[in-house]
Amino acid sequence: MSLLFSPLHLPSPRGGITLPNRVVVAPMCQYSASNGCATDWHLMHWGNLLNSGAAMFTIEATAVLPEGRITPNCLGMWDDVTEAALADHLHRARALAPPTAVCIQLAHAGRKASSAVPWEGGQLLAPGQGGWQPVGPSALPQLPSEAPPTEISAFELVRIRDAFVSAAQRVQRIGVDAVELHGAHGYLLHQFLSPLANQRADAYGGSFENRIRFPLEVFKAVRTAYDGVLGMRLSASDWVEGGWDLPQSEVFCQLLKAAGCDFIHVSSGGVSPQQKITLGAGYQVPFARAIRATSGMPTTAVGLITDAHQAEAILQAGDADLIALARAFLYEPRWGWHAAAALGGTVQANPAYWRCLPREAQAAFGKVSIGMR
């Protein structure tokens, strides 16, 4: 039996969720919200990927405060209005798709906030251009050409921590199955972890113990208030000498597990323009392998994984427990179907689609339409 199409249970204080396969749609920013509210673009996007054959779909980085958005067009979850908009669009998308677990990535962009959307250059926006003053662990800009962020005060740290808690409570109320805290790609929690972005002189900067303090406080506060499946996405390396690296990630993940973390999603990079990444198929898998071995947590591998047999080999080697894909799903929204056909697995889909399979795929799935339950 294919491991990619075998079930996996993700535990939580509430009992957890059992995924029918190991395929996850990774979070992908859509830059299509209106004042933080989900729009009809999200309805279309979510409905499409909830019919992908993946066991779990992850909603994009969702800001816990308005100033925590990457761009003015980013999704948010900070008040009753943003909660209602997300709930409405998500409930309608789920009603037209087979049962699929939904995770949401809760985030704060820190010094990478107040930026233009990527197709308009992605540059830092001044307040007069629709932007705002970003904040960060230290007054160090992401790029040397940018104005520095405001160093976050002790009071603001509490406010941001509490905003993560409030957002987690809101998404639990509307029926989201899992929460992933965004500790990767150079956003706020990653900024605190990395000595390249965090040069504070107080209890939240300097030593490893101090740099992990705020991300760990946020995780523990959310864990106390939220009893669903809770994990974190982590950049395992800054790919810069003297930055955050794999040994620090391994220790941090052990502390997350002790604090009640249910899964870890392993990525890398994003905090420095000096990063030197050697790209290649599955280039981040060694990070997932190491963290899985040292933490014992259910671990998600991601990054240039595009082929079903490649994904299966990663699982068979014991390098990860889940496989996440992002842009591959945008290019091929039925990636899960193709993977099931290649590996002899089964997926769920809306019956309206059952007649679409070519004969060779029907043979691979057996006699029942597309092997769907």
Task: Please spell the DSSP secondary structure of 317-330, one letter per residue.
Answer: TTS-SEEEESHHHH
Percent of the chain past pLDDT 90, that is, above it, reads 91
Each residue of 141-196: pLDDT tens digit?
999 999 999 999 999 999 999 999 999 999 999 999 999 999 999 999 999 999 99
The one catalytic residue among 187, 204, 226, 283: 187
Asked if residue 5 lies in contact with residue 340, where contact means CB atoms within 8 angstroms, the answer is yes
d(CA 51, CA 350): 7
What mean pLDDT comes out for the span 348-359? 81
What mean pLDDT comes out for the span 45-51? 97
Eight-class DSSP state of 32: -
Work out the mean pLDDT of the chain and round it to a whole number: 95
pLDDT at 362: 63
pLDDT at 230: 98
187 is catalytic: yes
What mean pLDDT comes out for the span 247-266? 98
d(CA 33, CA 30): 8
Each residue of 272-315: pLDDT tens digit?
999 999 899 999 999 999 999 999 999 999 999 999 999 999 99
Among residues 59, 52, 47, the alpha carbon closest in space to that of 91 is found at 47
The pLDDT confidence band at residue 367, using thresholds 50, 70 and 90, is very low
- Is the predicted pLDDT of residue 111 greater than 90, yes or no? yes
pTM of the model: 0.95
